[in-house]
Chain A
Amino acid sequence: MILGWLIVILIAGGLIAWPLARLHPLLSRLIALSAVTLDLALALVLATRDFGPGSTAGGGWREELDWSWIPQFGIHFHLGMDGLSFLLVLLTLFLGVVAVVVSWTEIATAVGFYHFNLLLILAGILGVLLSLDLFLFYFSWELMLVPMYFLISVWGRERRTHAAVKFFLFTQLSGLLMLIALLALYFAHHQATGIYTFEYQDLLGTPLDPHRAMWIMLGFLAAFAVKLPAFPFHTWLPDACAEASAASNLVLASLMAATAAYAMIRFLLPLFPEAVHTISPLMIVLAVIGILYSAILAFSQTNLMRLVAYASIGHLGFVLLGIFAGNSLALRGTVMTVIAHGVSIGALFLVAGAVEKRVQSREIDTMGGLWDTIPCLSGVGLFFALAALGLPGLGDFIGEFLILIGTYQAHIAAAAVAALGVLAATFYALRFVQYAFQGTNIHSWHLPDLAAHEGFVLGVLIAVLLWLGLYPQPVLQTLAQAASHAPALWR
């Protein structure tokens, strides 16, 4: 039942926050903040109840909710949570709180509608992460789309319409392919068993001939690869990030990517193991190319948000590599990377946003010497740049190391070339630090340093990255619980 509440609270919060902004924008912000915080608190309750030291070991869904929705078509409102989905739910709600807090001063127009959209996206993400019914999954997947479109097109910068339309077309078209694939799977299952069902557990064992399985798998993969985004379907992300606000970029790059990675691990790998195995060499090559390609492009960007977006694509290349490496070490590393990437890249977007707010520009050429005037923000920016370049001791390193060491077991060359991606990350991360913060303060800027709420949020993100880097065992432990659903993947 608590799973249902998680989603309901967000939607209700959004619906209340929208009209309240007419009374006072602050009310809207407060409602949004309390809704997300309440959700986060509920999730933490679940953490102690289901994954704490006292909880019983073993597999299964730790929380489950199953309502009949459209029984004629075998559609259920079926939610379930295991270690994997729990970790990403926690990430979503944590970054959701962060997004609301940083929007406090950043968003000044249409505050109510903004929070409505933000909370609706979060609800959609939770739906994706918790659905055990593929129809509900598809529904939630699409639920994220429209509000995100508005976040870009209403609160974006100059070329926001172009960016929003591009985002919409990419995700909508790939989503359609998934819908077709989903229906094909649905009917294939009926053909084989005589039952119409969208139920995840039932569809898992659907017998498919390899040819058909490949096509259905490709339909799903299209949606997931675009959403991640994987090379060469990534080009909507830099455009969107260049235009959208920092908080939307956090949602866009950190959380949407998490849903895509999750969907691959939860649905793609167990539903079509043979097809995935067949296509994995191609995907590994694409992942490795993507890692190097995006690192080089990140190095050449002058728009700060674009630079971070390419950095994000590079990290997600590691995620893709880990998913298709066919190795459980790499798969665990993937989840670590998804979480750490969410925090570090999200934080880099926030830093870029904070810099933009102060110097009124996203262009790196116009900056320089910020360390003279805003040392705290500069130091924080340096920290997250170091996290992005994979410094040991911070979360990203653990994830990437596990992915690479896992990939090495089967694909030595891929691991070796991808390791060069870690080196290439140094190029753009240090360039970011050099151009934004170091050098001379040619404009003789006197800017306000971090405000209390910014400092608090970024400080918490720093602490989380250090924790993930120095003691990731709780995360990996929780993840181990997920193994019971697809033992072949995690062994």
Chain B
Amino acid sequence: MLRLLWLVPAIPLASALALAVLRLSQKTVAWLGTCSITASSVISLLVSISFLNAPPASGAYTQILWRWFDVNGLRPEIALYLDPLSLVMMVVVAFVSFLIHLYSTEFMSGDDGYGRFFAYMNLFVGCMLTLVLANNLLLLYLGWEGVGLCSYLLIGFWYRDPANGRAGRKAFIVTRAGDTAMVIGLFLLFHDLGTLNIQDLMHRAVLQWPIGSSGALAAAFLLLSGAVGKSAQLPLQTWLPDAMAGPTPVSALIHAATMVTAGVYLIARTHTLYSLAPQAQFAAAVIGAATLLMAGFSALTQHDLKRVLAYSTISQIGYMFLALGVGAWPAAIFHFMTHAFFKALLFLGAGIVIESLGGEHDIFRMGGLRQKLPVTFWTFLVAGCSLAGLPLITAGAFSKGWIVWGAYSAANGSAELWVVALAGVFLTALYTFRMIFLVFFGQQNSQVTRKPGPAMVIPCLILAFLSIAGGYIRTPFASYLSTVLAWNPGITRSPSFGEMFSEAIVALVFFLGLCLAYVFFLRRRDYSTVLASSPAGSVLHRFWFSDWGMDWLYDHLFVRPVVWIAKVGKGDPIDGFYAGVGRLNEIAWRGLSLSQSGRLRWYAAAVAAGTIVLIGVVIFS
């Protein structure tokens, strides 16, 4: 059964090709596009079951498809590597993709780019599965760039509006800036360790690099740059909010559940390297902590429903980076999984809300949708509670509570990081319930014009179930993952409080956020207006709303200079030199043609003058 593994990425890729080349009716497209992902997820489940029942002796299964190339010791293969970590990623990616494809069949119906949409989406799933299953960093990079490409294509899917194209290009270029650092990291790893196979790299790194050595540090930081770009962490997070220009299923799949967590996967996959580079690992923790706070504040100020969710995604991935950075490895992957469920569901719900209001994105113009869209309301509420971390019930509470505890107790943890993580819990609860109260409670402001059909509702129900049930598998999940990714406990100090205490504080902070949101955004909306219009409040509001001014900064620091240079250089300054030589020739030609006047006296005078000069030269030299 394991040998079917190659089909998992191959089927979506093949159907993407078919969808791109063939001209099919909308119905056929829907069938082909969804069935391929269904097949892929079913096969991934079968493979997983067989892997769980009879794990290979080495703990991992490698399937070599063919040798990519072989030159001078660089011999990457097109090969898949299945171990508990990639298995979790594969199953979650395939399954969430399946649900979102199902949703899309209805969501996108009637769009004139229906076939193109499913071709891109299938290509995305194929690339993402290649990324998580790759056995070497070069193949991983192929998937990595492939998902970036699909992200670009799908953000700019509605290409008639140039703003969408701009958002797509921004996403591609910003993430590629990180990728450039990552690819330099690949050069370094190959140069120092002589291979790109991930497992070999990790073995050789341990043998060759002492802890904290410069090679390990450089490699870890370069890979971290790639991860930061793809996962929209500081300082490369600016592309994700704009990426919401794409169709909502795209935001759900690519910009929430799967692609943006690729950075988390990369670091987890190469965690051995990060153990050798503690500074780089700690940097990941700091980046995660800073991002989760900054994005949390930004989410608090957004009006656009999808942008709230986008900042929330950035913030939640910040949690995963924090977990990676402190050494709470399984918590990061666990939070990836629960986040994939509840955040995909939030986006799917947001898609229904926006569609049913005829394309309205502003949460302040929504309201009271609780009665009109009851199923959507309940599923959205479940997902929101999971995101905010309603204790004991929701999956999000289990994963986030675990990270908060890790921020204190794991190897790199500290009381400061624990406090930051708690502040994040408060912010999350606040912005989540702000959103829920504004959208579903209070006065109804606009008319519901369209109700979702079964293809859109069923995925929401399944995801709602998972957003709750997913949390209860934490213990088996951790023990299963521990063979490849063990929790890295702090050994140097003994914690002054236990996990239960930490969880209790998390619960407390959650309810604090919930109550505050209730007061400010449901009970007394005028309080929040007063607060936001006070001098200090309005400055902060604008600052947070504009993503802490980072877009402005980058625009002035990078975009404008490059555009300016390009504008100035358009005519090719180097060519100016050659044009000058040409002009010089022309002037000489004009000068010389003047001398050829046809007047005999001038010629005679010139001959005489020349003779005198020559004689002079002969005599005086």
Contact = CB atoms under 8 A, between A and B. Distances in A.
Interface of A: 166, 231-232, 234-235, 238-239, 293, 296-297, 299-301, 328-329, 332, 369, 371-372, 379, 386, 391-393, 398, 401-402, 404-405, 408-409, 415-416, 419-420, 422-423, 426-427, 430-431, 434, 437-441, 470-473, 476
15 contacts: A232-B577, A296-B566, A300-B570, A392-B141, A398-B69, A405-B187, A408-B184, A408-B187, A426-B172, A427-B173, A427-B562, A430-B173, A440-B162, A470-B78, A473-B69
Contacts of A409: 191
Given A300-B569, A392-B141, A392-B142, A332 B71 contact: yes
Contacts of B173: 423, 426-427, 430
Of residues B146, B177, B572, which shows the largest number of chain A Cβ atoms within 10 Å of its Cβ? B572
Given A231-B574, A238-B572, A426-B172, A440 B187 contact: no
Of residues A238, A434, A441, which shows the largest number of chain B Cβ atoms within 10 Å of its Cβ? A434
Contacts of A372: 160
Nearest to B177: A423
Interface in B13-28: 20
Contacts of A332: 71-72
Given A296-B569, A297-B566, A434-B165, A391 B70 contact: no
A431 B578 CA distance: 29
Contacts of A415: 184, 187
A293 B562 CA distance: 11
B162 A434 contact: yes
Contact of A472 (B69, B569, B570): B69
B187 A300 contact: no
Interface string B569-591: 11010110110000000000000
Nearest to A490: B72
Q: Secondary structure at chain B's binding surface: helix, strand, loop or mixed?
A: helix
A404 B186 CA distance: 10
B560 to A, nearest CB: 14
Interface in B151-208: 152, 156, 159-162, 165, 168-169, 172-173, 176-177, 179-180, 183-184, 186-188, 190-191
Contacts of A166: 578
A231 B574 CA distance: 9
B162 A300 contact: no
Nearest to A301: B570
Interface string B136-149: 00100110011001
A297 B574 CA distance: 11
Given A393-B142, A398-B69, A434-B169, A329 B569 contact: no
B184 A419 contact: yes
Contacts of A470: 68, 78
**On chain B, which size bracket covers the interface?**
35 or more
Given A235-B572, A427-B173, A473 B70 contact: yes
Interface string B407-435: 00000000000000000000000000000
Nearest to A439: B162
A371 B567 contact: no
Contact of B176 (A300, A402, A426, A471): A426
Contacts of B67: 473
The 5 residue pairs across chains A and B that have the minimum distance between CB atoms: A300-B566, A438-B159, A392-B142, A235-B575, A408-B187
A371 B157 CA distance: 11
Contacts of A300: 566-567, 569-570
Given A408-B191, A427-B173, A438-B162, 10 more contacts: A166-B578, A297-B569, A300-B566, A329-B71, A392-B145, A408-B184, A426-B173, A439-B160, A440-B160, A471-B68
Interface string B1-22: 0000000000000000000100
A371 B159 contact: yes
Contact of A297 (B177, B179, B572): B572
A328 B72 contact: yes
A296 B570 CA distance: 9
Given A402-B71, A404-B187, A423 B141 contact: no
Contacts of A471: 66, 68-69
Of residues B142, B165, B176, B183, which shows the largest number of chain A Cβ atoms within 10 Å of its Cβ? B183
A470 B169 CA distance: 26
B74 interface: yes
Contacts of B160: 369, 372, 438-441
Contacts of A401: 138, 183
Interface in B65-120: 66-72, 74, 78
B592 interface: no
B565 interface: yes
A473 B190 CA distance: 19
